Amino acid sequence: MKKQSIFTIFILHFALLAIAQRPAATTEYNSNTRFEQMGTSLPTPNTFRTAAGSPGKDYWQQKADYDIKAELDDSKQSITATEKITYTNNAPEELRYLWLQLDQNLFAKNSTSSTSRQSALNPTTGASFNTLGTMAGANEKDYGYKISAVKDVLGKDLKYTINETMMRVDLPTPLAKGMTFTLQVDWKFNIIDLKSVGGRSGFELFPKDGNILYEIAQWFPRMAVYDDVNGWQHKQFLGQGEFTLVFGDYKLALTVPNDMIVGATGELQNAKDVLTATQIKRWEQAKNTKNPIAIVTQEEAEAAEKGKPTGKKTWIYVAKNVRDFAFAASRKFIWDAMQVDVEGKKVWAMSLYPKEANPLWGQYSTRLVAHTLTSYSKRSVAYPYPVAYSVHGSVGGMEYPMMSFNGARPEADGTYSEGTKNFLISVVIHEVGHNFFPMIVNSDERQWSWMDEGLNTFLESLSCLEWDRNFPANGIEPQSIVGYMKIDATKQNSIMSSSDNILPGTFGPNAYSKPATGLNILRESVMGRELFDYAFKEYARRWAFKSPTPADFFRTMEDASGVDLDWFWKGWFYGVEPADQAIANVEWYGIDSQDPTKQKATAKADAAEKAQTLSNIRNKTDIKETVVEADPTMKDFYNTYDKYAVTDGDKKKYEQYLATLGEDDKKLIEEGKNFYVVNLKNKGGLIMPIIIKMVFEDGTSKDVRIPAEIWRLNDKEVKKTLVTTKKVSKFKLDPYHEIPDIDTSDNTFPKEPEQPTRFQAFKQAGFGRGGSGSNPMQEALKNKPAGTQTSGEKK
Question: What average pLDDT does range 676-690 have in this prediction?
Answer: 98
Residue 15 has pLDDT above 50, yes or no: no
Q: How far apart are CA 782 and CA 794, in angstroms?
A: 14
- Report residue 22's pLDDT band, with 50, 70 and 90 as the boundaries: very low
Residue 340 has pLDDT above 90, yes or no: yes
- DSSP string across 492-558: ---TTS-GGGSPTT-HIIIIIIHHHHHHHHIIIIIS-HHHHHHHHHHHHHHHTTB---HHHHHHHHH
The predicted structure's pLDDT at residue 753: 79
The predicted structure's pLDDT at residue 6: 46
Question: What average pLDDT does range 234-255 have in this prediction?
Answer: 96
Q: How far apart are CA 77 and CA 117, in angstroms?
A: 27
The predicted structure's pLDDT at residue 124: 65
67-to-166, 319, 517, 678 alpha-carbon distances in Å: 20, 11, 41, 68
Q: How far apart are CA 454 and CA 785, in angstroms?
A: 47
Which of 65-74, 605-614, 639-648, 745-754 has the largest mean confidence? Answer: 65-74
The predicted structure's pLDDT at residue 670: 86
Question: What average pLDDT does range 266-292 have in this prediction?
Answer: 97
For residue range 775-793, list pLDDT tens digits in order.
Answer: 888 787 777 766 665 555 5
In sequence order, what are the residues at sequence separation of 6 or more whose Cβ sits closer than 8 angstroms to the Cβ of residue 3?
588, 589, 590, 674
The predicted structure's pLDDT at residue 764: 53
For residue range 435-485, list pLDDT tens digits in order.
Answer: 999 999 999 999 999 999 999 999 999 999 999 999 999 889 999 999 999
Q: Looking at the chain, how many residues does it have?
A: 795
Amino acid code (one letter) for 118: Q
Residue 665 has pLDDT above 90, yes or no: no
The predicted structure's pLDDT at residue 779: 80
The predicted structure's pLDDT at residue 763: 58
Residue pair 480/473 in contact (Cβ under 8 Å)? The answer is no
- DSSP string across 710-730: GGSSBSSEEEEEEEESSPEEE
Please, what's the largest Cα pairwise distance for the chain? Answer: 133
Q: Give the whole-number percent of the chain exceeding pLDDT 70.
A: 90
The predicted structure's pLDDT at residue 787: 60
Q: How far apart are CA 456 and CA 53, in angstroms?
A: 20
For residue range 296-332, list pLDDT tens digits in order.
Answer: 999 999 999 999 999 999 999 999 999 999 999 999 9
Residue 154 has pLDDT above 90, yes or no: yes
Mean pLDDT across the chain: 91
pTM tops 0.85, yes or no: yes
For residue range 557-566, list pLDDT tens digits in order.
Answer: 999 999 999 9
CB atoms within 10 A of CB 460: 29
Residue pair 351/238 in contact (Cβ under 8 Å)? The answer is no
Question: What average pLDDT does range 563-575 have in this prediction?
Answer: 98
44-53, 512-521, 629-638: segment of lowest average pLDDT:
629-638
Residue 125 has pLDDT above 90, yes or no: no
For residue range 742-778, list pLDDT tens digits in order.
Answer: 999 999 999 987 777 776 665 554 443 344 567 888 7
- CA torsion sign for 509, 510, 512, 513 is positive
CB atoms within 10 A of CB 255: 17
End-to-end CA distance of the chain: 67
The predicted structure's pLDDT at residue 792: 55
742-to-418, 476, 477, 519 alpha-carbon distances in Å: 29, 16, 13, 19
Strand extents, DSSP E, 663-700? 674-682, 690-696
- Strand, coil or helix: what is 184? strand
Residue 170 has pLDDT above 60, yes or no: yes
- Report residue 118's pLDDT band, with 50, 70 and 90 as the boundaries: low
Q: How far apart are CA 677 and CA 95, in angstroms?
A: 66
- Report residue 591's pLDDT band, with 50, 70 and 90 as the boundaries: confident
Q: How far apart are CA 538 and CA 373, in angstroms?
A: 18
Question: What average pLDDT does range 170-184 have in this prediction?
Answer: 98
Residue 116 has pLDDT above 90, yes or no: no
The predicted structure's pLDDT at residue 11: 39
- Report residue 135's pLDDT band, with 50, 70 and 90 as the boundaries: low
In sequence order, what are the residues at sequence separation of 6 or more whose Cβ sits closer than 8 angstroms to the Cβ of residue 264?
252, 254, 315, 317, 325, 326, 327, 328, 403
183-to-87, 96, 366, 729 alpha-carbon distances in Å: 8, 14, 39, 77
β-bridge mates for residue 353, sequence order: 334
